[in-house]
Structure formats: C-alpha cells, structure tokens
C-alpha cells in the first residue's frame, strides 16, 4: 500500500514510519518540522515538507494513498494555553483538512492520534471511552473536536476512521530539551546529567505510561490489518498499569543507579491529577494487547538517552 503519515518526523511518527516501511508499504511523510527532526526521517520514506494548515498541501500529500495516520499536532498542553488560536488551527482545523483531503483522495482508512487529555475534569476512574469528556485545556478541546469530526466521517462519507486516545507515550527520540518536555524524558535527562529531576505538585498524580513500540503496533494494526467493527470508533491506547510520578522516579533511579532527591514545583495549570485507563475496548474489539513492561521500556529508553548524552552514534 501507499500510505501517509503526518507528523512522521516526530517522536511517535518516526517510529511508525519505520514499522510501515519494514512491513513493505510505500510511505509518504507530511511534516513541517516544527517539533520534528529531519534526521528522524527514515531514508526510505518520501518527504513532503509542509503544513496541515494548508489545504492544498494536505491534498497533495493524500494523493493516491490508501491509508492515513494523522499524528501532526502541537502536542503540548502548556503551548496550547499560551496560544490557543495556533493550537486550534493545527490540531482541530488541520485534522478536519486532513480528513477532507483523505476523503477526496478516496483513502480507505484514517487513523487519528487523540489524547487521554480529553477526559479532563471528569472524575470517573478508570477512564472509559463512553464517559463524558470534560477537557480543561485548549489542546484537549482541539483533540476532542478532531475526534468527533473523525467519528462522523465514517457514517457520513464511508472513510474508515479510528481514533486512539494515547495516554503517556514514552521511548527513544522523545524530546528532553523542550521546555514542555514530558515527565520521562525530563527525569531521564536530569538523572543522567546528575541534576535534580523536577516534579510538578506532590508527585502522587497518576499516569499510564505506554511504550512507543506498543503504540506503533496498535497504529499499524488499526490502519493495515482488518479488525472488524472499529471504523468510527475511539479507543484508549494505554498499558493498563497505573504509576504515580513519584513511583516512576523511583524506578528510573533504580535503572540508572542514581539517588538524587527531586525538586517539587507548584502543580501546573491544565494538568489532570489522575489518569487511569481502562483498556478493555482496545483489547477486545481491536484485538491489541500491550506487551512492553514499564521497567523494560524505561531501560531501553534510558539506553537511548545515555547514548545521546555521551555522543555515541545512534539510530535516527
Ligand atoms: N507523546 C504522547 O505522550 C502523546 C500523548 C497523547 C497524544 N499524542 C499525540 O500523538 C501525536 C504525535 O505526538 P509526538 O509525541 O510524536 O509529538 P511530536 O511533536 O514529536 O510530533 C508531532 C509532529 O508533527 C509535526 N507538526 C506539528 N505541527 C505541524 C503542522 N502544522 N503541519 C505539519 N506537521 C506538523 C511536528 O514537526 C512533529 O514532527 C500528536 O498528535 C500528539 O498530540 C502524543
């Protein structure tokens, strides 16, 4: 198949592109390199440098493709709070434009990367897909709007859309340098540099961390396999294991052999306190089971960051 990955120069997208190429597909990437990296692009992929805010670019990128994975986004809650209009243009309108371009091109399947952030202030735990979303940041509102568009494109136009609500994805190539870096790259890069890791709030907030290898396996399965009855659906994509930020730091310290006390900072506006995923639907309906334990995933990730920090040649 000829397929398209938007955001294919980013953290998750670059791993997805490699998996699709390895499976024998022709892969095109659309990315504006705003947070992605040219050196993460797999050599076998065709690259369109462009922006999902431009409809003609979306159309050109979709020409002739059978499946689209739409991952391009401003993927940061704080950044969306700083500039909600920009976040909406990329994350919500950009997704609608990609859906339109995919529909016009006659693509069969469209896989969308939504977020667990859509559950927001709804106190119900664990998170189940049918609970009422109560997003508390522009980013989460963007993702929910985009998800709803994707959902409607199946009954309206026959485009087989699948939306995944990613929980906390981690792995090699996740950016540790951004001021908006996620907690695992923050912890690993601080510990490897001998700095105190920073924790926002008391550290007892819970998260579900899923390895990028598991996310990629689910994405490939949803877009190229033929799971029945998944079109127009939304799925939690998580490990099913809850870990507090304090417990995560303890595991990271154990793996790296460090014992550095963290610095506790005030909790951040827009962060949810608890994030606990029910993965029954993705397991039973999608036929996908996560395989990588947090310890194994963290070990592989730490090895990548260690090699980065010591300048050892790395895979892209
Ligand atoms: N990493 C996580 O834990 C997580 C959790 C929930 C949802 N997601 C979603 O998964 C997707 C991938 O996230 P990631 O962690 O790989 O982030 P990332 O920032 O590494 O990747 C996003 C990619 O999109 C590109 N991009 C951004 N704006 C663009 C635009 N206007 N036009 C074209 N390309 C553009 C960036 O250059 C980058 O390569 C995003 O949609 C994100 O919202 C990620």
| Per-residue pLDDT tens digits for 98-113 | 999 999 999 999 999 9
| 103 and 55 Cβ atoms separated by less than 8 Å | no
**Quick check: 172 pLDDT over 90?**
yes
Distance 261 CA to ligand 1 centre (A): 31
Q: Choosing from 119, 139, 154, 170, which is the catalytic residue? A: 139
Q: What is the pTM of this model?
A: 0.95
Which residues in the chain are classed under CATH 3.40.50.720? 2-169+209-237
- Ligand 1 pocket test target in 71, 138, 178 with most atoms within 8 Å of CB: 71
Structure tokens at 48: 């369109």
Architecture of domain 171-207+241-276+292-310: Alpha-Beta Complex (3.90)
Query: How far apart are the CA of 277 and the centre of ligand 1, in A?
Result: 21
Q: What is the CATH number of domain 2-169+209-237?
A: 3.40.50.720
243-246 long-range Cβ contacts below 8 angstroms, 24+ apart? 243/206, 243/207, 243/208, 243/209, 243/294, 244/203, 244/204, 244/205, 244/206, 244/207, 245/183, 245/199, 245/201, 245/203, 245/204, 245/205, 245/206, 245/207, 246/199, 246/203, 246/204
Q: Is 40 a catalytic residue?
A: no
pLDDT tens string 126-166: 999 999 999 999 999 999 999 999 999 999 999 999 999 99
Note the pLDDT tens digit of each residue in 230-253.
999 999 999 999 999 999 999 999
Q: Examine the pLDDT at 314 and tell me if it is beyond 50.
A: no
Residue range(s) in the chain whose domain bears CATH number 3.90.25.10: 171-207+241-276+292-310
Ligand 1 environment, Cβ below 6 A: 6-7, 9-13, 30-36, 51-53, 71-75, 90, 94, 113, 115, 166, 168-169, 182
Per the listing, tokens 């939306």 go with 163
Q: Is the peptide bond before 215 cis (omega within 30 degrees of 0)?
A: no
Distance 11 CA to ligand 1 centre (A): 7
């Amino acid at each position: 198949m000829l397929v398209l990955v938007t955001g294919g120069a980013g953290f998750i997208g670059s791993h997805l592109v490699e998996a699709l190429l390895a499976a024998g597909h022709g892969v095109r990437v659309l990315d504006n390199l705003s947070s992605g990296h040219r050196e993460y692009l797999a050599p076998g992929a065709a690259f369109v440098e462009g922006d999902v805010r431009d409809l003609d670019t979306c159309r050109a990128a979709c020409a002739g493709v059978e499946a689209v994975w739409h991952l391009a986004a401003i993927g940061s809650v704080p950044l969306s709070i700083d500039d909600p209009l920009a976040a909406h243009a990329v994350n919500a309108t950009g997704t609608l434009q990609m859906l339109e371009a995919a529909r016009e091109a006659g693509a069969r399947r469209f896989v969308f990367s939504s977020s667990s952030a859509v559950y927001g202030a709804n106190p119900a735990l664990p998170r189940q897909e049918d609970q009422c979303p109560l997003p508390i940041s522009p980013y989460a509102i963007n993702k929910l709007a985009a998800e709803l568009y994707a959902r409607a494109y199946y009954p309206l136009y026959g485009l087989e859309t699948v939306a995944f609500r990613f929980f906390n994805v981690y792995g090699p190539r996740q950016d540790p340098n951004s001021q908006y870096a996620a907690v695992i790259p923050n912890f690993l890069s601080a510990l490897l540099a001998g700095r105190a890791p920073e924790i926002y709030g008391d550290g007892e907030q819970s998260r579900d961390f899923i390895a990028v290898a598991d996310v990629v396996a689910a994405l490939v399965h949803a877009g190229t396999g033929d799971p029945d009855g998944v079109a127009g659906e939304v799925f939690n994509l998580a490990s099913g294991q809850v870990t507090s930020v304090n417990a995560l730091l303890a595991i990271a310290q154990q793996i790296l052999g460090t014992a550095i006390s963290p610095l506790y900072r005030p909790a951040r506006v827009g962060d949810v306190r608890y994030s606990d995923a029910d993965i029954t639907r993705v397991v039973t309906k999608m036929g996908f089971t996560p395989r990588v334990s947090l310890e194994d995933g963290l070990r592989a990730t730490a090895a990548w960051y260690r090699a980065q920090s010591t300048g050892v040649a790395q895979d892209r």
